[in-house]
């Protein structure tokens, strides 16, 4: 019974957020159009923003996956040539190199946004 209440509450919160976002955006656009602003300004910003967002997601995801792969490889080398325990070194190396990949992605994203 409690699980269904949690899911209903979660659905209501998500629905409320989307409803407020779209209704506020609609009211803002209608107010701008009533003042005589051209409606083309809405389309120009979204097109540029969506292409940049797609590039950022692909860049960060690719660097994260490369970091995870590098972490597995380094952990394999460490367990093969040292006496470190496998259960500890694999998650540690995966998280460290994955985090380094996301950190590199953050800095590359800043450079991409500056262009």
**How is the chain split into domains, by residue range?**
1-37, 40-115
- Give the pLDDT confidence score for residue 32 in this predicted structure: 82
Which helix (H) or strand (E) is 53 found in, with range?
Answer: helix 40-81
- Identify the residue whose tokens are 């997601």: 57
How far is residue 11 CA from its own chain's centroid? 21
Q: State how far the Cα of 53 lies from the Cα of 48, in Å rounded to an integer.
A: 9
Q: How far apart are CA 8 and CA 108, in angstroms?
A: 40
The per-residue pLDDT for range 73-113, each reduced to its tens digit, is 999 999 999 998 888 899 999 999 999 999 999 999 888 87
């Amino acid at each position: 019974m409690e699980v269904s209440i949690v899911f209903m509450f979660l659905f209501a919160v998500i629905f409320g957020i989307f409803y407020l976002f779209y209704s506020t955006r609609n009211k803002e656009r209608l107010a701008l159009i009533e003042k005589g602003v051209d409606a083309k300004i809405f389309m120009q910003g979204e097109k540029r923003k969506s292409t940049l967002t797609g590039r950022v997601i692909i860049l960060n995801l690719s660097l994260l996956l490369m970091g995870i792969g590098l972490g597995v490889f380094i952990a394999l080398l460490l367990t093969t040539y040292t006496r470190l325990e496998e259960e500890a070194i694999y998650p540690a190396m995966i998280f460290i190199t994955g985090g380094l990949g996301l950190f590199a992605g953050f800095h590359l994203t800043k450079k991409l946004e500056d262009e």
